[in-house]
Chain A
Amino acid sequence: MGKGETRVDSYTLASKALKRALDDAGLKKDDIDGLCTGGPLSGERASELWGLNPRWSGGGDAAQCIIEAALAIDAGLCTTVALVYGNAQRSMDTAYGGARVTGGAITSYFYYAPWGMTSQGALYALFFQRHKLLYGTTEEQLGAVAVAFRKHACLNENAVMQKSLTIQDYLKAPYIAEPLRLYDYCLINDGGVAIILRRADMARDLRQRPIMVSGFGWSEENVDATQLRPRLKTFYHGAHRDVAAQVYPMAGVTPKAVDVFATYDSFSVHLLASLEGFGFCKEGEAGAFVQGDASRSAASCRATPAVGCCRKATCRAGTTSRSWSASCEAVWAGGRWRVPRWPSTSMTWRASARA
């Protein structure tokens, strides 16, 4: 906790976000008949605390919840779903790593614990090391990602980090797990975010112009998970390609039509893998794709690598929650990042196991 910061809990943060989302939509909580919770939230407890009585509830990570909710709405199980995430991990002094994380037990991070790694950073350092060896990707190229993310963060007045970052700053920063440096890691933040998703024919005549969900995809890569194959050997590309094969035809677009690309980015290297897997550049060429200015690639498509969502960057809730909201936010408008009030082309996807 920093001096002057208010100690909060995950449910309080989530409830604030939910209230603002309902206000944004012009809906009341009684209009909510579906609930999807993420992070440490229990849907049952959240409903009790917030006075909700959903007919359907689900939960999960990031875009997974959007897909779950869409399927539930389509099946007629509900019409209006609140997707809510809150996490007070900074207030709780949560650490994602260390020998005694989760009491020393091999639990959620089963995939790297058998190899003696004690943090995600160690795993993704290997991830990037392999990308370097295979494709000649440089640390300067990876640094361009961190610089771009910070640049985007500085455009968001609600960002934690507001000071611009140069490539020199990046390269001077210490390695945390070589070849990943300090700025390759996301912050551990507090925060909450909520999205209200509604059946399309009921979405008209509300306070905001609805943002249609035009495509989504889902794929899993669980074979040889503890052998780290999806992460270290294929960079998740199998799942990326599966999802791309679903989402692009469904939405009726190609990568060149995508204006904003937001991906899970707990570590900067995720962006390189995602750009390749989703067809913004060829496999192994993401380093060159982002070199110089990752936010305005020289490549023909206008993909904006991430939206400054997590990384040393914006919101209080870290990567997962930003992945939640990234599908409907952060479109460049009038010189600032803002939640769009018009249809835009962004991507929602769920691929592979969580990272």
Chain B
Amino acid sequence: MAVIFDRARLGRLKDAVAVVGVGETDYAKDYRGPAARPWARARPGSTRTPWRPRR
């Protein structure tokens, strides 16, 4: 199937919007306690329970 898009209309959006702020969670500050287990010791299977919807 041929690619169909309007290059002119798409091109008009160049630089039309801008990222003005970014943020993310901080692992040490938000998530880890002082006695936390290093993640590097996590092993395959440490996430044991398959998610299932509640019935």
Contacts and interface: CB of A to CB of B under 8 A. Distances in A.
Main secondary structure of the interface of B (DSSP, over half): loop
Interface string A197-224: 1111001001110111111110100000
Contacts of B35: 3-4
Given A98-B50, A102-B51, A102-B52, A20 B24 contact: yes
6 contacts: A24-B21, A24-B22, A95-B50, A194-B22, A214-B14, A316-B24
A5 B14 contact: no
Interface of B: 3, 5, 7, 10-11, 13-28, 30-40, 42, 44, 47-53
Given A70-B17, A93-B49, 9 more contacts: A69-B17, A103-B52, A194-B22, A198-B17, A210-B18, A210-B19, A246-B10, A315-B27, A328-B22
Which residue, of B3, B22, B47, B48, has the highest number of chain A Cβ atoms within 10 A? B22
Interface stretch (A42-50, A184-192, A265-273): A184-192
A162 B42 CA distance: 13
Nearest to B7: A249
A325 B24 contact: yes
Contact of A95 (B11, B31, B36, B47): B47
A196 B21 CA distance: 5
Contacts of A182: 44
Contact of A74 (B13, B20, B37): B13
Contact of B33 (A6, A176, A316): A6
Interface in A283-302: none
Interface in A4-51: 4-6, 8, 13, 16-27
A97 B24 CA distance: 27
Interface of A: 2-6, 8, 13, 16-27, 69-71, 73-74, 86, 90, 92-95, 97-98, 100-103, 158, 160-163, 176, 182, 187-188, 190-200, 203, 206-208, 210-217, 219, 242, 245-246, 249-252, 315-317, 325, 327-329, 339
A13 B30 contact: yes
A62 to B, nearest CB: 15
A84 to B, nearest CB: 9
A39 to B, nearest CB: 13
Given A95-B49, A197-B18, A215-B14, A6 B32 contact: yes
A41 B51 CA distance: 16
A213 B19 contact: yes
Given A195-B19, A210-B20, A160 B47 contact: no
Contacts of B25: 13, 16-17, 86, 190-193, 315-317
Contacts of A246: 5, 7, 10
B37 A3 contact: yes
Contacts of A242: 3
Given A5-B32, A211-B18, A213-B18, A100 B13 contact: no
